[in-house]
Amino acid sequence: PQVVNPPSAFIQSCNSSPFHTTIGEGNPQPEQFSPDMRIETHLTNRARRALALYGADESITREKFYEYKYDKVYDSESRVGRWLDEVLTAELPKDSDLADAVELLKGWDLSAEKERTETALAMLAMELAPPKDVPDDEPDAVKRLRGAVKFMMEKHGRLDVPWEEMLRLRRGEVDLGLGGCPDCLRAIDLRLAGDGRFVGINGDCFFQMVEWLPDGAMRSESVHQYGSAASDANSPHYADQAPLFASETMRPTLYYEEDIRANLALEYRPGEFSDPWYDIAKRSK
């Protein structure tokens, strides 16, 4: 299936069904393709949010474009949204911690912003295997919440830990709080660390925003979750972009020669010396 120049002038591709690539006319139709092709029909949360935000905004501004990129909300039809609905409508067993968790989740807007205190429970419910020492007839959503509650109380002694304290960007000596979540437009995939917190492992990494200006010039900004020398722990660029990434700030991409020369640390030809460039730069000062 292909989408070429749809009337909306908008397309999104978020690991999801091609039958919902654009808004309005221009999408390929499922009946045009054999079922034997096994074309997926599932919509990821990122696709749902991209369609709802970018797709529905007919006069999108530069500021809104950036804002939507950092969207951290789960759609009500996403896996997380359906889990929350099941928890809030389930008949709960008599358990004070479980009751406190449900009361907390009643105020959750399905957002994974840094300050949200409900997000950790939801992410743990998604990540942890449901406990086995519970009644078989207990709904799976409640089992998962029970496991999340137990984890939070054992590891942190409370349920309402702000999300940025639970989700960390770690690299060398750097340890920074993040907002974001799996399958959000601000995509941060998770792994539980030994201290009971999540560490970002996949999702957003290097990404770039590019603008073509009316005068023909190009302007772009980019960011990497660590830095441009992510495999060299001794380099000043090993983790120097991590604070930008954590604060959801981007840096100018130096594209034109005059901009590059204005920001040079060292000018050299490949193979000119064998030592790392940053050691040469220090000695040349």
Please write down the long-range contacts of 82-85, taking CB distance under 8 Å and 24 or more positions apart: 83/122, 83/125, 83/126, 83/141, 83/144, 84/108, 84/110, 84/122
pLDDT of residue 161: 98
pLDDT at 41 over 80: yes
pLDDT band at residue 284 under the 50/70/90 scheme: confident
Task: Render pLDDT for 54-110 as a digit per residue (tens, 0 to 9).
Answer: 999 988 899 999 999 999 999 999 999 999 999 999 988 888 999 999 999 999 999
Summarize the confidence of residues 227-248 as an average pLDDT.
Answer: 95
In this prediction, residue 135 carries a pLDDT of: 83
User: Would you say residue 249 has pLDDT above 80?
Assistant: yes
Which whole number is the average pLDDT over 108-122? 98
Would you call 236 exposed, middle or buried from its count of C-beta atoms within 10 A (0-12, 13-18, 19+)? middle
- Average pLDDT of span 256-281: 90
Instruction: Flag whether pLDDT at 282 surpasses 90.
Output: no
- Indicate if the pLDDT at residue 281 is higher than 90: no
Q: What does residue 129 show for φ and ψ, rounded to 5 degrees?
A: -70, 140
Which of 158, 126, 163, 171 lies closest to 144 in space, CA to CA?
126
pTM for the complete prediction? Answer: 0.92
- Give the model confidence (pLDDT) of 145-197 as tens digits: 999 999 999 999 999 999 999 999 999 999 999 999 999 999 999 999 999 99
Q: Is the pLDDT of residue 39 over 90?
A: yes
Percent of the chain scoring above 90 in pLDDT: 85
Q: What local confidence, expressed as pLDDT, does residue 127 receive?
A: 96
**β-pair partners for 223:** 207
Question: Dihedral (C-alpha) 253, 258, 260, 263: value to the nearest 10 degrees?
Answer: -110
For 72, what's the count of Cα atoms within 13 Å in the CB-facing half-sphere? 21
Give yes or no for residue 285 having a pLDDT over 80.
Answer: no
User: What contacts 42, CB < 8 A, 6 or more positions away?
Assistant: 16, 17
Q: Which residues pair with 209 in a beta bridge?
A: 221
Predicted local confidence at residue 136, as pLDDT: 84
pLDDT of residue 16: 93
pLDDT tens-digit map of 195-215: 999 999 999 999 999 999 999
Of residues 133 and 240, which shows the higher confidence score? 240
